[in-house]
Amino acid sequence: MKVEAKYDIIIAGGGLSGLSLAWYLAKGDYKGNVLVVDSTFAPTNDKTWCFWTAHEPPFKQIIYKKWNKTWVSVLDYSTFRYMNEYSYYCIRSGDFRECVLRELRKYKNFDLLEENILDFSSNKNKAVLLTKNGDSYLANHIFQSVFKPKGLDDSSIKYPLIQHFLGWEVHTTEPTFDSETFTIMDFDEDFSPGVGFMYVLPFTQEKALLEFTVFSEETLPKKIYKKKIKHYLYHQFGIDKDHYEIKRKEYGEIPMEDRPHIPLYEKNIYNLGSVGGQTKPSTGYTFTRIQDYTQKLARNLIQGFDPLPPQPSKLKYRYYDLLLLHILSNSTEESLKVFHSLFKKNSLDEIFRFLGEETNLKQDLKIMSSVPYLPFFKAIGHNLKR
């Protein structure tokens, strides 16, 4: 095997997790040689990443929009809710990639390679990345977000839910949106199978991203998402196709599975991002979890320690997720009742703290006591062995 070059670290995949790790390594003045590999580094705004935090947000220089007010509607409960402790942020994937790559190009010990990745291999001390054109690159460690973990048995996943969505970024001919209020969830009570809702990010009075989002085991034909967005634009905002233009489309499928935690692809090859289990199963949110992990990982590597494998959530949060996945998988009616009580009986700050896994036992009990008991008792009964 001919080796083209040797590195201390190879980052395979130039998405959110790979570039976040590269960013923290570079900003922390990592002295080793790093190779970042992806099929292309072209910065396109094909994804929108949103997150909440009570602290200074990561990548604050490219925050596209910030909100402290939301609209929620589920069953007979519809209201505006305000955040006091947390803020909700949006970053565009193209802005993120451009920002990180511009920084990496300042460092002589960071190389960027546009190649398609074929496979990895490893032995006791080293790991190898093989490209589709036959080139091989050797490293002490590879961090990859390209391939699913080895050893992932789909039959072991009890609730194979997907959060799937199609979004349109529209520009209207006249002021239409409240740019200071995003819609976190506007549930579609008539939708089945699964739980469906509209998610709206207004950037200006004339520009917004509208996504029809579903929690279910199967995705939908694209025409159904589009029909839902058209219907919402007309009935919620009173505008038809002659009064808006679609500037950009966004489609995504995010795993919400109770998958086993698999931190290693092979020896010396670590899984990053969603393939490393960093997507929260019950919500699909990933951005903040990736930032927390890649910062810690970079710090370990800079200090000369062995890589810190991605860690699973605390047991209590994994169990909470499992119970909610059971409800989402088995009953749309009960799911809507849970969301109704959750939003009606808790502040948005309390909900974000719980979903962000930042709660103590007293705060957990307040959240759990606010939702209907019966769906969770059923879920506990079906998951005693888990």
| Contacts with 60 (C-beta within 8 Å, 6 or more apart), sequence order | none
Strands (E) across the chain are located at 3-12, 34-38, 48-53, 65-67, 69-74, 77-82, 87-92, 110-114, 117-122, 127-131, 136-144, 162-172, 182-187, 195-202, 207-216, 244-255, 264-266, 269-271
* Tokens found for residue 10: 């190879």
CA-to-CA separations, 129 to 19, 24, 104, 124, 239, in angstroms, rounded: 17, 22, 21, 15, 51
Q: What is the pLDDT of residue 257?
A: 81
pLDDT bucket at 220, cuts 50 / 70 / 90: very high
Q: What is the pLDDT of residue 350?
A: 97
* pLDDT tens-digit readout, 18-77: 999 999 999 999 999 999 999 999 988 889 999 999 999 999 999 999 999 999 999 999
Round the average pLDDT of the chain to a whole number and report it.
94
Q: What is the pLDDT of residue 155?
A: 67
Q: What is the pLDDT of residue 384?
A: 67
Q: What is the pLDDT of residue 277?
A: 86
Q: What is the pLDDT of residue 385?
A: 57
Measured distance CA(49)–CA(377) in Å, rounded: 34
Average pLDDT value for residue range 93-111: 97
Q: Which residue has the tokens 């007010």?
A: 69
Q: What is the pTM of this model?
A: 0.94
* pLDDT tens-digit readout, 253-264: 998 888 777 889
* pLDDT tens-digit readout, 333-385: 999 999 999 999 999 999 999 999 999 999 999 999 999 999 888 888 877 65
| Contacts with 176 (C-beta within 8 Å, 6 or more apart), sequence order | 205, 206, 208, 237, 239, 244
Alpha helices, H only, 143-283: 222-237
Q: Is the pLDDT of residue 144 over 80?
A: yes
* pLDDT tens-digit readout, 305-342: 999 888 888 999 999 999 999 999 999 999 999 999 99
Selecting from 3.30.360.10, 3.50.50.60, 1.10.3720.10, 1.10.150.120, what CATH number does the domain 3-65+90-153+258-302 have? Answer: 3.50.50.60
The residues spanned by each domain of the chain are 3-65+90-153+258-302, 162-255, 315-382
pLDDT bucket at 1, cuts 50 / 70 / 90: low
Average pLDDT value for residue range 94-108: 97
How far does the chain reach from its first CA to its final CA, in angstroms?
A: 45
Q: What is the pLDDT of residue 21?
A: 98
